[in-house]
Amino acid sequence: MPTRLFSTALALVLLASAGPASAGNPGALHLGGEWRKMSREECARKALAALAKEKMVEGGTDAQGNAWARDEISSVLVVSLTARDGVQVFVFAAGQDGAKAAGLRDRVRAAVLDGPAVPEPDRPVEFAAEGHKPGGPVLRWGVERCNLAQTLRFFEQAASIVVEKHHFAASTPGPNVVFGQRPDCLLAAVHVPVPSEGTGYLGVLVCGAEPGEADRLQKSVRRAIRKIFFD
């Protein structure tokens, strides 16, 4: 049985609250993941290989080294955070077809966490771009290291207040996770403690807003949470 720093083995589903799926409604956001003994580079290789098998339209690795991909209606981001001698993995999948996004989350998560190793490719991973146009919702992630302050045991309460002040309806589906929803945008805030190192991570993902607004939101929410605990 793998060691779990932060386990989201249960389905965590956040549905946008406003009516039918549309350009302004990202649909559903699904999250899953666990800790595994591997490098961040291996995690990204396994994620990209799994996403290519799903026939995503475009994909790659972002500036933080995380794997991502989109098809016509769905988006996936696979985040890895160094912890002990391995990584904490999060698989975020979003789209207007909630069942499809859930399936993407489950299959990509299984491939990354428990699938065979993927060697370094000789050429970039190819996606099924020809004749298709990516249309999945925008996913923007930001993360930072933090000390393990005793007050972080109140993470869900504090993060919920921050999320509500940013005009989201907050919910707490599990320890160290806060979800936020509004008609045009979804949000997930997480705290990942790494007690053996005396540190942890604060991360925020925003789904569905325009890219600039999504970046602004994830930075603003993360900054406000950090201020409560460390300023």
pLDDT tens track for 74-106: 999 999 999 999 999 999 999 989 899 999 999
Q: Which of 186, 189, 106, 180 is nearest to 142 (CA)?
A: 189
Contact present, 66 and 80 (Cβ < 8 Å): yes
Q: Domains in the chain: how many in total?
A: 1
194 in a domain, yes or no?
yes
Q: Is the dihedral of CA 18, 142, 227, 12 positive or negative?
A: positive
The continuous run of DSSP H or E covering 90 comes out as strand 86-95
**Which CATH number do you get for residue 140?**
3.30.310.50
Task: Give the pLDDT confidence score for residue 5 in this predicted structure.
Answer: 58
Task: Give the pLDDT confidence score for residue 209 in this predicted structure.
Answer: 74
Which residue range forms the structural domain that includes residue 225?
8-230
pLDDT digits (tens, 9 = 90+) for 125-181: 888 777 788 899 999 999 999 999 999 999 999 999 999 999 999 999 889 999 999
Please tell me which residue, 210 or 107, carries the higher pLDDT value.
107
Contact present, 37 and 86 (Cβ < 8 Å): yes
3 in a domain, yes or no?
no
Report how far residue 26's alpha carbon sits from residue 208's, in angstroms, rounded to the nearest whole number.
5
- Exposed, middle or buried by CB within 10 Å (0-12, 13-18, 19+), for 161? middle
1 in a domain, yes or no?
no
Task: Give the pLDDT confidence score for residue 187 in this predicted structure.
Answer: 95
pTM of full prediction above 0.85:
yes
> What mean pLDDT, rounded, does the chain reach?
89
Strand partners, 185: 182
